[in-house]
Amino acid sequence: MSSIEQEIRDTRASLCLDCGKCTVVCPVAQFDSSFNPRLIVQRRLGPDGSAGDDDSVWSCVSCYMCTERCNYHVRFPEFIQAMRSEALENGAELQCAHGGTMQALMHMMADGNVQQDRLGWLPQDVEVASGCGTVFFVGCAPYFDVVFSDLGVNTLEGVKGALRLLNRAGIPFDLLANERCCGRDLLLQGDREGFAALARANMEEFSRQGVKRVITGCPEGCHTMRVDYPRVLGAVGVEVLHVTEVIAPLVESGELRLGGMEKKVTYHDPCTLGRCLRVFDQPRQVLEGIAGVEVVEMEQSREKALCCGSSPWAFCGVVNRQIQEQRLAQAGATGAEVLVTACPKCQIHLKCAQRSGDGEGTGMEIQDLASLAAGSLD
């Protein structure tokens, strides 16, 4: 049995009962009737199933809504990853979004010769504890703010907010001058080799710097380093936490007192932080810790939250935009002033949709949770 066949088997796809619940909850299927998770499984595993010729595998946004609903816990997004890997091996061409910018960046960062100069944005008021064993993983935010500058994204504000919250909480952290992209998007699009190169580069950097604990602001990095690195590289010996997992208990216990601001906000659960990592309560606890902030929920939230509509910087089209517009409409319908999210990629995708849309929610402010919470500190 080939490794791909084994991988497909590991996703439990062969247990699919053909019930179709995945398709009912799938946001892509809602707008594209030709996309049907159940039938993709059936086509691949059926008697005539052939590898690498099913174009619909590229439409999945890896939101894990299907896995949430599946009674047999078929890990469909991982099945899709394996299918994409197989397709790329068979010569399929990836349709990159944004002119392939992020793919080029990820591949360049995997290069052993790269010595990045990526900390120029660090504010003077942030205290960094060199060599303390805990690292804040900045992720791709410095690149995002350049590459998507015309969308008005400010993902570094979220990073700065997270650092200020950690400073205030008295949690020491170091920053790495040469951390790489975590590689999640390469993994999601089926580029196993590119992903493994980034994973190894990061782990070597952690090992050189004696890193024992990693705190991330980006859910993608958190999931990748916590779940995917050990799967691909074996035991990595590093504890990985999302910043809300670190801050929320301190806010709850009263050890960290946030300030106040009068704002009505709604929280968008990033798929990777919510459904994948099961971090639903902590972001809300942080928001509720800000005096005067009223949190209102969208029609779909927590386990049922709608995706921001895009996945690994590839195959972004009209269906993705429809999902984004629906999410913005849900946010707008809450009457909140601010749409808060805890993922830089969600921010980018939703701001992109705001730029071209004119429906409900397109005029809403979108802000990172850590940036909002840090803004309340006096």
Partner 1 sequence: MNGRMGQVIVFACNWDGLSCVEAAAVAGLSYPASVKVVRVSCLSRLDQGLILKAFELGADGVMLVGCEAGECHFDTDPELVDREYEKVRQVLRLLGLGADRLALVRLPRGHGEEFATRVTEFAIEVERMQPALVRGQ
- Our finding on whether 98 is near partner 1 (CB under 8 A) is yes
- Alpha-carbon gap, residue 109 to 111, rounded angstroms: 5
The residues pairing with 64 across neighbouring beta strands, listed in sequence order, are none
In angstroms, what is the minimal distance from the CB of 110 to partner 1? 7
Binding-site size, partner 1 (CB under 8 A): 26
Q: Restricting to residues 147-176, name those near partner 1 by CB under 8 A.
A: 147, 149-150
- Our finding on whether 315 is near partner 1 (CB under 8 A) is no
Looking at the Cβ atoms of 182 and 328, the one nearer to partner 1 is 182
Q: What is the DSSP letter of 305?
A: P
Q: Which phi-psi region, left, alpha or beta, contains residue 152 (left: φ > 0; alpha: ψ -120 to 50)?
A: left
In angstroms, what is the minimal distance from the CB of 362 to partner 1? 23
- Our finding on whether 132 is near partner 1 (CB under 8 A) is no
In angstroms, what is the minimal distance from the CB of 197 to partner 1? 8
Q: Which of 251, 245, 191 is nearest to 219 (CA)?
A: 245
User: What residue has token string 């469909």?
Assistant: 76
In angstroms, what is the minimal distance from the CB of 99 to partner 1? 3
- Our finding on whether 9 is near partner 1 (CB under 8 A) is no
- Alpha-carbon gap, residue 187 to 232, rounded angstroms: 10
Contacts of 124 (CB under 8 A, 6+ apart): none
Looking at the Cβ atoms of 156 and 338, the one nearer to partner 1 is 156
- Our finding on whether 201 is near partner 1 (CB under 8 A) is no
- Our finding on whether 208 is near partner 1 (CB under 8 A) is no
- Alpha-carbon gap, residue 162 to 125, rounded angstroms: 13
The residues pairing with 339 across neighbouring beta strands, listed in sequence order, are 266, 366
The first and second tokens of residue 234, run together, are: 């074996």
The residue length of the chain stands at 378
Looking at the Cβ atoms of 9 and 98, the one nearer to partner 1 is 98
- Our finding on whether 259 is near partner 1 (CB under 8 A) is no
Q: Which of 15, 108, 129, 291 binds partner 1 (CB under 8 A)?
A: 108
- Our finding on whether 99 is near partner 1 (CB under 8 A) is yes
In angstroms, what is the minimal distance from the CB of 114 to partner 1? 6
Q: Which of 30, 76, 63, 32 is nearest to 305 (CA)?
A: 63
* Tally of CB atoms within 10 A around 177: 12
- Our finding on whether 146 is near partner 1 (CB under 8 A) is yes
Residues that bind partner 1 (CB under 8 A): 96, 98-101, 103-105, 107-118, 142-143, 146-147, 149-150
